[in-house]
Amino acid sequence: MWLINLIPLRLQYYGILVLVVIAGIFGIYWLGGQNKKKDIEVKLMKDKVKNINIAKEVADEVKSLDDGTLYNRASKWVRNNK
């Protein structure tokens, strides 16, 4: 504690001010990173929900087809065993 008394009082105040400014800048930087992380997570979740809905629509469409129509559509995409 006696080492702090060797530093002039004006420099102690400036030192405290510098530390507060650095802590504030770090806090703002950290908070911005957390917000960006949440934005990315929200975007990924929206994409995931969109993909799930598309998969459900495709599955429903395939279920609604009869066997002949399904065979005709699938024959365009499946190789023949010749």
The answer to whether 73 and 65 have CB atoms below 8 angstroms apart is yes
Dist CA 29 CA 22 (whole Å): 11
Return the H-helix or E-strand segment holding 50.
helix 9-64
pLDDT in tens, 11-42: 888 999 999 999 999 988 888 888 888 899 99
The pTM of this model reads 0.51
Dist CA 65 CA 73 (whole Å): 10
Please check the confidence at residue 50 and state whether its pLDDT lies above 90. Answer: yes
Delimit the domains of the chain by residue range. 10-75
Q: How confident is the model at residue 1 (pLDDT cuts 50, 70, 90)?
A: low
C-alpha torsion sign, points 67, 70, 72, 74: negative
Token pair 């008394």 is found at: 5
